[in-house]
Amino acid sequence: MAVRYLDSSRIVAPACWSRWLVPPAALSVHLAIGQAYAWSVFKKPLETSLGISGVASALPFTLGIVMLGLSAALFGTRVDRNGPRWAMFISMCCFCSGFLISALGVSIRQYWLVVLGYGVVGGIGLGIGYISPVSTLIRWFPDRPGLATGIAIMGFGGGALIASPWSASMLIAFGATGTHADPVGIAKAFGIHGIVYAVFMSMGWLLIRVPADNWRPAGWIPALQPAGGLISDGDVSARNAIRTPQFWLLWVVLCFNVTAGIGILERAAPIYSDFFPRGTGLAAAAAGFVAILSLANMLGRFVWSSTSDLLGRKNIYRMYLGVGALLYLAVTLTTNSNKVVFLVCCLLILSFYGAGFATVPAYLRDLFGTYQVGAIHGRLLTAWSVAGVLGPLIVNAIADSRIAAGVTGPGRYTPSFSIMIGLLVIGFLCNEFIRPVNRRFYEPVPERASGEVVSAP
């Protein structure tokens, strides 16, 4: 009975349903699971209270991101089949159980339970939650898919903004900071996170609706849409999509775009300190630099993804990759000679990084149709997992070796920036090679429904 309640057949929207109720439902999930990027708040308290190393305290987050990619790829088809309410509910159960298991683990001083709870169980919640609203949003906003997915995926970037100060203030209130952090305080904080996020995410699965099969926005006529050469008029299954060159070209595009963004994001504070070491309040200025990059990352997801509805997906990726390479080149050449140029370049690079995530579901919709776009998106997110390892590896390995060689200032990072330029150029070329999907991959056309339902935009 309860399982049936979650089925997509039970959440077909009535004609009076506004599609503008769908983005907040999606945001309530993405703003919650975006907490993952605020994990660093828990690192020091866990290290001091349980006596674990920095590597061990990072393990739940690392495992969580790996599980995000794996679960999105493995459960993507099931998410498309069972619908967004099922996916959001399962995501909530896994994500919040992860916190509760972690609370138990800290309270009984068994750190492996934190790794299992937050990293594995919570990580599955991250993956299912990340892809849960994507295909639904695309179906509700066929006229503006970039805008719709941009709003939701901006939420994932915004989740850390909420969680970081909230978690930090909770840990202070429970005496779980400093050299004598109280494990009970950390356990309490984990427990409260689990409960509060369960309530917050519930709005998502209670409110989410899918449009009727024959629904379309008022005034929108598919045949009159600007016919970009890449936009398919058929649907491709997830199984067939991974057999197309388009999928793998886009996989490389996403992987290298993310890797390039992580190049700055991974070591933002040290990069700023090494580029502009003079002046008082360096730590506060570096923190301000990290904050402004987070803002660019978040706004880029919304602004550029929405712009892609006007410019076309291929053109916007030309900008992310081509202009991104030029911006990296500008930073490499000007180094610290002009702070304004440095800041503008870094902000744009980070905005393109976030936008790459937000625009890709609409690009997939253009290429493969809406049939299993959630599942295809899930499989594509393995590129994120690879980039999550590749980006930090390149930047940290080069920076550490340069520091060991006694190099100071921007010279610590310019070699890795040059590699990022190369990766972006390769990504640019891959984007150029993307052509419309061959019709032999299309699914058989279903019988057309007779009635058509029109809704206010």
Partner 1 sequence: MSTPTGGSVATPRPFLTAVAWAWVIVPFGYGLYQLLIKIPALFGS
- For residue 131, state whether it binds partner 1 (rule: CB under 8 A): no
Q: Give yes or no for residue 7 binding partner 1 (CB under 8 A).
A: no
> In this structure, how many other beta carbons lie within 10 angstroms of the beta carbon of residue 407?
16
CB-CB contact of 232 with 434 (8 Å): no
Q: Is 220 in the site for partner 1 (CB under 8 A)?
A: no
- C-beta closer to partner 1: residue 346 or 423: 346
Decide if residue 396 touches partner 1 (CB under 8 A). no
Shortest Å, Cβ 290 to partner 1: 8
> Tokens for 184?
């009970």
Binding segment for partner 1 among 128-136, 279-287, 350-358, 408-416 (CB under 8 A)? 279-287
Q: Return the number of the residue (214 or 315) whose C-beta is nearest partner 1.
A: 214
Per rule CB under 8 A, is residue 158 in the interface with partner 1?
yes
Looking at residue 223, what DSSP letter applies?
A: G
- CA–CA dist 287, 273 (Å, integer): 10
Of residues 347 through 386, those in contact with partner 1 by CB under 8 A are none
Size, binding site for partner 1 by CB under 8 A:
54
Task: Check: CB of residue 325 under 8 Å from CB of residue 269.
Answer: no
Q: Which residues pair with 217 in a beta bridge?
A: 455
Among 76, 83, 155, 354, binds partner 1 (CB under 8 A): 155
Q: Does residue 212 interact with partner 1 by CB under 8 A?
A: yes
The residue within the footprint of partner 1, chosen from 7, 18, 51, 429 (CB under 8 A), is: 18
Kind plus residue range of the DSSP H or E element containing 51: none
Q: Which stretch binds partner 1 (CB under 8 A): 114-122, 139-147, 161-169, 388-396?
A: 161-169
228, 356 Cβ separation under 8 angstroms: no
Interface with partner 1, residue 207, by CB under 8 A = yes
**Residue 409 has what DSSP assignment?**
G
**CB-based contact 49:102 (threshold 8 Å):** no
Q: What is the DSSP string of 131-177?
A: HTTHHHHHHH-TT-HHHHHHHHHHHHHHHHHHHHHHHHHHHHHTT--
Locate tokens 């580029």: which residue? Answer: 275
Q: At what angle do helices 145-173 and 22-33 cross, to 10 degrees?
A: 40
d(CA 26, CA 377): 16
Choices 284-292, 302-310, 361-369, 439-447; region in contact with partner 1 by CB under 8 A: 284-292
Q: Does 14 bind partner 1 (CB under 8 A)?
A: yes
Q: Is the dihedral of CA 389, 394, 398, 401 positive or negative?
A: positive
Helix and strand tally (H, E) in the chain?
Answer: 20, 2
**Chosen residue from 59, 63, 198, 295 binding partner 1 by CB under 8 A:** 295
Alpha-carbon distance of 178 to 171, in angstroms, equals 10
270 binding partner 1? (CB under 8 A): no
User: Per CB under 8 A, does 262 bind partner 1?
Assistant: no
Select 255 or 293, whichever has its Cβ closest to partner 1.
Answer: 293
Select the residue interacting with partner 1 from 173, 333, 397, 454 (CB under 8 A). Answer: 454
Q: Does 210 bind partner 1 (CB under 8 A)?
A: no
Q: Which stretch binds partner 1 (CB under 8 A): 51-59, 88-96, 223-231, 291-299?
A: 291-299
Per CB under 8 A, residues contacting partner 1 are: 10-21, 24-25, 27-28, 31, 155, 158, 160-166, 200, 203, 207, 212, 214-215, 218, 279-281, 284-285, 287-292, 294-295, 343, 450-456
